[in-house]
Structure 1
Amino acid sequence: MCVTMNVCHYDKRMDFFYNQSNTQTEDDWTGAKLIIVLCFGTFFCLFIFISNALVITAVVRNKRFHFPFYYLLANLAAADFFAGIAYVFLMFHTGPVSKTLTVHRWFLRQGLLDTSMSASLANLLVIAVERHMSVVRMRIHSNLTKRRVTCLILLIWAIAIFMGAVPTLGWNCICNITTCSSLAPIYSRSYLTFWTVLNLVVFFIMVVVYLRIYMYVKKKTTVLSPHTSGSISRRRTPMKLMKTVMTVLGAFVVCWTPGMVVLLLDGLNCTQCRVQHVKRWFLLLALLNSVMNPIIYSYKDDEMWRTLRRMICCFFYDTNERRPSRIHSAVMSTRSNDTTSQYMDDSINHGTLSEKGKF
């Protein structure tokens, strides 16, 4: 019996593992249902490619975006673009095709998804650190150099690729099929539990960090408002920026948490949780996150919207009237470009700072 359990099955196709894990929903996604899912997936992926490519191009072309926060925002857009690639690969390797895949092909399919998710999560964590560095100094941007930001971006992708490759490197159930999960038939349940718990813990940490930063900014803005001159919008600029970042984080947590919980239940071998019936719907919800982010960027920041609109007009010669401004640029609009010095100078003049570099 022990010898049988230790036999490795790298030469088997995925139908062997699906049968071992009692996965019976693969054949349900055929015919009209599969076509509808593929059509929606194709539309969303096209939008992800175009919109996130525009965001990256906007950060490169507009000198007002040449700051650490926007470099990290562009890297988040790159992670969403990569997620689009992962979803396209998944669409052509799902449904009945799943059972015909080789082990290595299936590892590639899941590895792309895990890498894109890990890249987005790590990027949001780094943005949280960057925002904290900025807020405690009452600055719109941190003092991170381009070299340090570049190193951080490379580190983010190194971590993401490693996390996506861990099952391929050995933490799987190919040599011990009794430990295989149901949703990911060649992933070990122990790895699935570790991966989901780690992600959920990072979710919680980021939410706590951003809530503390949000409350800190709100409190300091309230304290300084009676003592600072300038427009109301200028005094509220840091709060606007935090709302933008928290909206991006909130969308990420809402879109990914249901899928993480389902994977955790599967990792814990919950046989009564009916995880098979909801897995693809939660995957589509995760896909929606990569669709939402570019919309959030352009809606929350007028400068980003103007840059994106100019680039779109260059391609399509759009002659429509300019969209009415809803919110002043959260970071780099003309009127808020000197917000930091305004805060610092006004605070010093009214005795609100007891020492340099401190509220």
Structure 2
Amino acid sequence: MGSENAGLSRIFREYRNNEIITLHYNYTGKLQASRYQGGLKTEAVVFLFICTLIVLENLVVLIAIWKNKKFHSPMYFLLGNLTLSDLLAGVAYAVNIIMSGSNTLKLTPLLWFFREGGVFITLTASVVSLLAIAIERHVTMVKMKPYHEDKKGRMFALISASWVLSIGLGVLPIVGWNCLQELEGCSTILPLYSKSYILFCISVFIVVLLSILVLYIKIYRIVKLNSQRFGSQRKGVARKSQKHMALLKTLTTVVGTFIACWLPLFILFLLDVSCQVLRCSILYKADYFLGLAMLNSLLNPIIYTLTSKDMRKAILKLLCKCLLNSRDGKIKRFLDWSTSKSEKSSHRLEGMEVTVSSGNAMPSPIKPLCPKTGKS
């Protein structure tokens, strides 16, 4: 019992000793760069801007889902969970950037673990949420039934499992899976993380990636098989072919974007595990690879929600209300672009229709950019 208390006391002292940060960063060679001197670098400012876009974009999608009752279904809740995890990833990464650079050497190991763990947890939640969506889509395609009350249980189970896995994976270093006692086993990219822990995380992410890929291939095969069975009775061969191509393009975009954003970071971490200290200079450019992975959180709402016609309408209506309504609730007359002071007429968006000449000289109506913003 005494030895256990002594061990806990030692760990507690280590977690509060900021000299350990300097020791590990110096051992891995990261202090040789000028990054840990002065304020934020140019690339850090760019990444902060990207984080701001991630937060704003995902916040708009979350509000749109929350304000529209027709989106209160299991699949949209899963999309909302993905959006929430991406939003939190943007926040966590922004905090990470602000606490990086010269501020890194002022941190205690405990704060360092929280800084990096926040990014790990939220990014893992985003990745696992993609898997949860793929699972739900696959189950729905197999059963070919509309949503019922019993599906809410599966939806909550998938959401809970995604966060339990993410939090569990993110807190492992702070509960002991780190390299505070063995510098030789430390990661160069994340100097307080054990290489064995990094390898474990990459293995989990690769399994998730392969699972998403397999599930979407199965979904495509199910749709193709159903179209072959029933499509000729409804739409014909040409229509079936169009559906196949549209689905194939969507799945290629989904999986291709995920791979393009995450695979470089996976490869870099595998290189980190295999390289000896100070041997691989590319490891000191890891921020760019992590920034690329963060772009997936920027693109996820576009791929998974904005491709929905209903979601596009809901988001457009929400943005128009924010941009066009003045404080007293009236629509701003911002479409009056005339520079003439004598022209005082303003354009109203509600119900407005404009006609333009088409190629055959027949006028065709164009729908207003913003949907009506009347009372719902």
Normalising by the smaller structure, the TM-score range is: 0.7 to 0.9
Alignment correspondent of 1:305: 312
Larger mean Cα displacement after TM superposition, 101-110 or 271-280 = 271-280
Alignment correspondent of 1:69: 75
CA offset digits 1:187-242 (Å, max 9, x no partner): 11111111112211221222122122213312322442111259x88997798577
Q: Which residue of the other structure, out of 255, 262, 267, is the alignment partner of 1:256?
A: 262
Cα distance in 2 for residues equivalent to 1:235 and 1:138: 21
Are residues 1:80 and 2:86 paired? yes
Alignment correspondent of 2:155: 149
Partner letter of residue 185 of structure 1? P
Instruction: Report how far residue 71 of structure 1 moved.
Output: 0.8
Are residues 1:48 and 2:38 paired? no
Are residues 1:315 and 2:314 paired? no
Q: Tell which has more relative contact order, 1 or 2 (C-alpha 8 A, sep 6+).
A: 1
Gaps of 5+ in 2: 1-9, 325-331, 333-348, 353-366, 371-376
Are residues 1:105 and 2:111 paired? yes
Q: 1:96-245 counterparts in 2 under 5 A? A: 96-139=102-145, 144-228=150-234, 244=250
TM-score normalised by the chain length of structure 1: 0.78
CA offset digits 1:114-170 (Å, max 9, x no partner): 101211122122212111111112347587532442233123212211111011010
Cα distance in 2 for residues equivalent to 1:168 and 1:194: 15
Instruction: Report how far residue 174 of structure 1 moved.
Output: 0.7
Are residues 1:27 and 2:34 paired? yes
Instruction: Report how far residue 27 of structure 1 moved.
Output: 2.1
Partner letter of residue 281 of structure 1? Y
Cα distance in 2 for residues equivalent to 1:288 and 1:132: 26
CA offset digits 1:234-266 (Å, max 9, x no partner): 997798577546634432232112112111211
Could you tell me whether the CA contact under 8 Å between 2:120 and 2:170 is conserved in 1?
yes
Could you tell me whether the CA contact under 8 Å between 2:92 and 2:118 is conserved in 1?
yes
Could you tell me whether the CA contact under 8 Å between 2:178 and 2:192 is conserved in 1?
yes
Tell me: CA distance 1:42–1:28, structure 2 relative to 1, closer, same or farther (3 Å): closer
Tell me: CA distance 1:105–1:88, structure 2 relative to 1, closer, same or farther (3 Å): same
Alignment correspondent of 1:247: 253
Tell me: CA distance 1:238–1:185, structure 2 relative to 1, closer, same or farther (3 Å): same
Could you tell me whether the CA contact under 8 Å between 1:119 and 1:156 is conserved in 2?
yes
Instruction: Report how far residue 66 of structure 1 moved.
Output: 2.2
Could you tell me whether the CA contact under 8 Å between 1:210 and 1:246 is conserved in 2?
no
Q: Which residue of the other structure, out of 269, 274, 297, is the alignment partner of 1:268?
A: 274
Query: What is the total number of aligned residue pairs between the two structures?
Result: 317
Cα distance in 2 for residues equivalent to 1:233 and 1:150: 36
Q: Which residue of the other structure, out of 291, 297, 310, is the alignment partner of 1:290?
A: 297
Alignment correspondent of 1:37: 43
Could you tell me whether the CA contact under 8 Å between 2:28 and 2:191 is conserved in 1?
yes
Cα distance in 2 for residues equivalent to 1:258 and 1:142: 40
Cα distance in 1 for residues equivalent to 2:269 and 2:109: 20
Instruction: Report how far residue 110 of structure 1 moved.
Output: 0.7
Could you tell me whether the CA contact under 8 Å between 2:62 and 2:84 is conserved in 1?
yes
Tell me: CA distance 1:143–1:216, structure 2 relative to 1, closer, same or farther (3 Å): farther
- Residue identity over aligned pairs, in percent, reads 32
Cα distance in 2 for residues equivalent to 1:85 and 1:124: 19
TM-score normalised by the chain length of structure 2: 0.75
Larger mean Cα displacement after TM superposition, 257-266 or 209-218 = 209-218
SS of residue matched to 2:144: coil
Partner letter of residue 314 of structure 1? K
Tell me: CA distance 1:125–1:242, structure 2 relative to 1, closer, same or farther (3 Å): farther
Could you tell me whether the CA contact under 8 Å between 2:178 and 2:193 is conserved in 1?
yes
Cα distance in 2 for residues equivalent to 1:171 and 1:274: 26
**C-alpha root-mean-square deviation of aligned residues, in Å?**
3.1
Tell me: CA distance 1:117–1:182, structure 2 relative to 1, closer, same or farther (3 Å): same
Alignment correspondent of 1:355: none
Alignment correspondent of 1:281: 288
Cα distance in 1 for residues equivalent to 2:321 and 2:35: 45
SS of residue matched to 2:180: coil
Tell me: CA distance 1:192–1:25, structure 2 relative to 1, closer, same or farther (3 Å): farther
Decide which structure has the larger Cα Rg and report it. Answer: 2
Are residues 1:18 and 2:25 paired? yes
Partner letter of residue 316 of structure 2? R
